[in-house]
Amino acid sequence: MALRTSPEVGGMGHSIKRKEDPRFIRGKGTYVDDVELPGMLYLDIVRSPHAHAKIKTIDIAKAMAVPGVLAVITGQDLAKYNLHWMPTLMSDTQMVLPVEKVMYQAQEVAGVLATSRYAAADGMAAVEVEYEPLPVVVDPKKALLPGAPVLRTDKKDKKDNHIWHWEWGDKAATDRTFAEAGVTVKQDIYIPRIHVSSIETCGCVAHFDKVNDKLTVWMTTQAPHAIRTVFALVAGHVGLAEHKIRIISPDIGGGFGGKVPVYPGYVIAVAASVLTGKPVKWIEDRMENLQADSFARDYHITAELAAKKDGTLTGLRIKTLADHGYTDAAANPSKFPAGLFHVCTGSYDLKAAHVEVDGVYTNKPPGGIAYRCSFRVTEAVHTIERMVDLMAHQLGMDAAEFRMKNFVKPEQFPYRSALGWEYDSGNYGAALQKAMDRVGYAELKREQAEKRKRGELMGIGISSFTEIVGAGPSKHFDILGLKMFDSCEIRIHPTGKAIARFGTKSQGQGHETTYAQILAEELGIPAKDIQVEEGDTDTAPYGLGTYASRSTPVAGAAAAMAARKIQDKARKIAAHLLEAAPEDLVWEPGKFSVKGAPDTFKTIQDIAFAAYTNHPQGMEAGLEAVSYYDPPNLTYPFGSYIAVVDIDKGTGEVKIRRFVAVDDCGNIINPMIVEGQIHGGLTMGLAPALYEEITYDEIGNIQGGSFIDYLVPTAVETPNWETDKTCTPSPHHPLGAKGVGESATVGAPVAIANAVVDALWHLGVRHVDIPITPPKIWRLLRDKGVNE
Ligand code: MCN
Ligand code: CUN
């Protein structure tokens, strides 16, 4: 993309430094825990040691005797106001605090309110709860067997643990592709439970001002407006109306999807503040965050892929069990209980496909949030890229050549996938070719063949993923009925400086910089003169928030549209000032000049001043605009990643020697920020590929509930990422941009998994589930007789 603005203006394409960083790197950010209010109380939470148990008694006497402890809040207390249950984003129900039984280990059992954080913790430890253990259901397959204990006894008519069945696609046509196929492959794939590990845990400060009847909540949320509406809907009956609720998301230390849901802690803090009239702070500790907040993935997939003998792919069939824990609290668009999993035909031109997913209850914390992933696209990409690789190897074809043969071709865009998505634009072959050139693909293949002769284990793995971001068009996308538009409101001040407010909320992505750059591009006002604000529901226009890489596709588009409204008005003011007809003016970023007389012009700053001092009679004063943007389609960024791995035969350790990532997110606003997004995303993709997993033992004890055994990669484990890009603009986005915040996390794990299988294929290995740990590979090698 050619640059249209100077570095001083800093429009699109300039790697200007992040405006928020001077604050962050000096430790001067304001996070929730930095909020201190006079008379503030502290909340700590008693949690269950059992995965499934009746609560017989809760004895608070000893806790109340702890100096500083003011109250212990139980489910019984909340039940008086009918606040002991709350709705989830998927219209299921979730306990705020239990009355009868607990459903997973680390579930909230009671809240302890005290005058200091320490007193709250001591009080928490002194609450005595007597439990009666109940049979625990951990395995979703067993949960569906007849005779399995029914978990949701709160639901009157529920006789099993099945939540929903969902299917999509043409079953008959898909079955036909399999009946007529020359080759088919079938594979069970488990995508394990993982958890985001943001630097900042979740928390809030709730302050109910009894004088003004107004509730203000500073909270770690990615979606402040939606949360305000949910609070109003849930607590309307106790007098909390929406105009009396103000949600403020201050600086956030990483969201990654984990800060989309409403957690019981927030609600208990709000209830405590409403009851006491005092501000109440609740901040999770690291283990609470890891053990009790919503989880991601946990998909048990069986996939089948069909092709002709010549290697032309034809059909895809998938059956999946989705482990949702004890409640379906997934953060998906309402219409799609399995998120956007049905983008699983990926980058390939398939004739037909059919997907089935069944949601299941187990005694685990709620699952189904998207860990840096647009609603299950990671699961979809992992499945199709694993299957395509399997098919290529099965046919004895080169994995890159096989992909090239089956890609949706550039001339097919806009392309309607077998499962009904309309991909906006793409050039998959170009991205893969670039990655192959960069990594030296042919040379690596030769090296691999030689090493194999010597008994060394080396693998090359490809992932040519298609992402789907920017939810979404109101026709299909809503959350609890709220359409997934987003917004931007711009006010230009008389001196030509501006403030712009958005319905999204940055958690580290750099919105203060990149939104200002969009406006600089559209208006020619330097990015440094534009203040960007998000996250305060009293001031920002309504929007659905930041997740699923939707900020650029949706709110970024709103910014462009609002700026164009301003430009329209500015043209009229300029015409008035220049005594010319509006249509005789030419715009270039920052000024209007008279056609044919480029020296006769007015700058946007002149125009802004005139909007308040000398506007045309009959025109309203001021220079501001708002846009609520309903995207006509999603955006489909894509990329090709190539991982080169060496496997240590003695230890089973996988070493990533090279990793080349070619990404395409259309036109780029800030190349440095995009590069940072991809670097971070790749490391977050490495994490589940090799390290991160949460499992449970047979009685529901969490394994991996602390950083001792939940392995988050550090700089030491992280290879040198080699990044590159292609640029295929989105045809429908006003700036030609696509989202990019999650691409790398979506695309990376399966490149590594494919590389490992490639290294072991000649030994008869067809698949390895992630995380690919040394013991897993060591055992495989032992079974194949490679080591002793
Ligand atoms: N960008 C750009 N040009 C493009 C696309 C994006 O310059 N063509 C810039 C954007 O302007 C923005 C950043 O890249 O500054 C990410 O933009 P986008 O892809 O629109 O994603 P969002 O801003 O909506 O961010 C959400 C995405 C998600 S869903 C997760 S999860 C994630 C991610 O961003 N969480 C993050 N990246 C994160 N980065 C940080 N530091 N912290 C998180 O919690
Ligand atoms: Cu999908 S994790 Mo991000 O959508 O906040």
Task: Give the tens place of pLDDT for each residue, 256-292.
Answer: 999 999 999 999 999 999 999 999 999 999 999 999 9
> Which residue, judged by its Cα, is nearest atom 21 of ligand 1?
549
Q: d(Cα 643, Cα 438) in Å, to the nearest integer?
A: 12
Query: What is the whole-number distance in angstroms between the Cα of residue 549 and the centre of ligand 1?
Result: 6
**Per-residue confidence (pLDDT) for residue 141, from 0 to 100:** 98
Structural tokens at position 538? 């009293």
Peptide bond into 472 cis (omega under 30): yes
Using a 6 Å cutoff on CB, does residue 547 contact ligand 1? yes
Q: Which of 293, 487, 549 to mutate to test the pocket of ligand 1 (most atoms within 8 A of CB)?
A: 549
Q: Would you mind telling me the total number of residues written for the chain in this entry? A: 788
Computed over every residue of the chain, the mean pLDDT equals 97
Using a 6 Å cutoff on CB, does residue 255 contact ligand 1? yes
Structural tokens at position 518? 């969009």
Using a 6 Å cutoff on CB, does residue 696 contact ligand 2? no
The three state secondary structure string of 109-149 is: EEEEEECCHHHHHHHHHHCEEEEEECCCCCCHHHHCCCCCC
Query: What is the whole-number distance in angstroms between the Cα of residue 91 and the centre of ligand 1?
Result: 28
**Per-residue confidence (pLDDT) for residue 788, from 0 to 100:** 64
Examine the pLDDT at 353 and tell me if it is beyond 80: yes
Asked if 349 and 427 count as a contact pair (C-beta separation under 8 A), the reply is no
Using a 6 Å cutoff on CB, does residue 340 contact ligand 2? no
The pLDDT tens digits of the residues spanning 149-203 come to 999 999 999 999 999 999 999 999 999 999 999 999 999 999 999 999 999 999 9
Sign of the CA dihedral 146, 151, 153, 155?
negative
Angle at 24 between CA 21 and CA 29, to 5 degrees: 130
Query: What is the whole-number distance in angstroms between the Cα of residue 20 and the centre of ligand 1?
Result: 14
Q: Which ligand is nearest to the CA of 665?
A: 1
What ligand 1 atom has the least distance to the C-alpha of 515? 11
pTM: 0.98
Confidence of residue 11 (pLDDT cuts 50, 70, 90): very high
DSSP state of 699: T
**Per-residue confidence (pLDDT) for residue 239, from 0 to 100:** 83
Query: How deeply is 771 buried, as exposed, middle or buried, from its count of CB atoms within 10 A (0-12, 13-18, 19+)?
Result: buried
* Domain residue spans of the chain: 21-28+485-629, 32-134+202-283, 295-471+633-783
- Calculate the alpha carbon distances from 19 to 199, 517, 529, 631 in Å: 20, 11, 11, 28
Q: Which ligand is nearest to the CA of 24?
A: 1
**Per-residue confidence (pLDDT) for residue 1, from 0 to 100:** 74
Structural tokens at position 787? 């080591």
**Per-residue confidence (pLDDT) for residue 649, from 0 to 100:** 95
Q: Which of 202, 532, 677 to mutate to test the pocket of ligand 1 (most atoms within 8 A of CB)?
A: 677
CA 451 to chain centroid, in Å, comes to 40
**Per-residue confidence (pLDDT) for residue 787, from 0 to 100:** 79
Q: Which of 378, 484, 552, 742 to mutate to test the pocket of ligand 2 (most atoms within 8 A of CB)?
A: 742
Q: d(Cα 385, Cα 747) in Å, to the nearest integer?
A: 9
Q: Which fold has domain 21-28+485-629?
A: Aldehyde Oxidoreductase; domain 4 (3.30.365)
Phi-psi map region of 757: left, alpha, beta (phi>0 left; psi -120 to 50 alpha): alpha
Using a 6 Å cutoff on CB, does residue 503 contact ligand 1? no
CATH code of domain 32-134+202-283: 3.90.1170.50
Higher-confidence residue of 18 and 239: namely 18
**Per-residue confidence (pLDDT) for residue 235, from 0 to 100:** 85
Structural domain 295-471+633-783, CATH architecture: 2-Layer Sandwich (3.30)
Using a 6 Å cutoff on CB, does residue 547 contact ligand 2? yes
The pLDDT tens digits of the residues spanning 28-74 come to 999 999 999 999 999 999 999 999 999 999 999 999 999 999 999 99
Asked if 645 and 753 count as a contact pair (C-beta separation under 8 A), the reply is no
Q: d(Cα 184, Cα 119) in Å, to the nearest integer?
A: 63
Query: What is the whole-number distance in angstroms between the Cα of residue 313 and the centre of ligand 1?
Result: 33
> Which residue, judged by its Cα, is nearest atom 40 of ligand 1?
508
Using a 6 Å cutoff on CB, does residue 666 contact ligand 1? yes
Asked if 656 and 752 count as a contact pair (C-beta separation under 8 A), the reply is yes
Those residues whose C-beta lies under 8 Å from the C-beta of residue 51, and which sit 6 or more positions away, are 102, 103, 104, 105, 136, 138, 363, 364, 696, 699, 700, 701
Closest by Cα among 507, 439, 456 to 719:
439
Query: What is the whole-number distance in angstroms between the Cα of residue 772 and the centre of ligand 2?
Result: 24
**Per-residue confidence (pLDDT) for residue 2, from 0 to 100:** 87
Judge if 21-28+485-629 and 295-471+633-783 fold alike in CATH terms.
yes
What ligand 1 atom has the least distance to the C-alpha of 518? 11
CA 325 to chain centroid, in Å, comes to 19
| Phi, psi angle pair for 756, to nearest 5° | -65, -45
Query: What is the whole-number distance in angstroms between the Cα of residue 211 and the centre of ligand 1?
Result: 40
Provide the CB-side half-sphere exposure for 285 (13 A, CA). Answer: 14
Which residues participate in catalysis according to the annotation? Answer: 222, 372-373, 742
Q: Which ligand is nearest to the CA of 12?
A: 1
The pLDDT tens digits of the residues spanning 465-516 come to 999 999 999 999 999 999 999 999 999 999 999 999 999 999 999 999 999 9
Using a 6 Å cutoff on CB, does residue 198 contact ligand 2? no
**Per-residue confidence (pLDDT) for residue 236, from 0 to 100:** 83
Q: d(Cα 668, Cα 671) in Å, to the nearest integer?
A: 6
Q: d(Cα 202, Cα 266) in Å, to the nearest integer?
A: 9
Those residues whose C-beta lies under 8 Å from the C-beta of residue 468, and which sit 6 or more positions away, are 340, 343, 374, 377, 421, 634, 635, 636
Query: What is the whole-number distance in angstroms between the Cα of residue 335 and the centre of ligand 1?
Result: 24
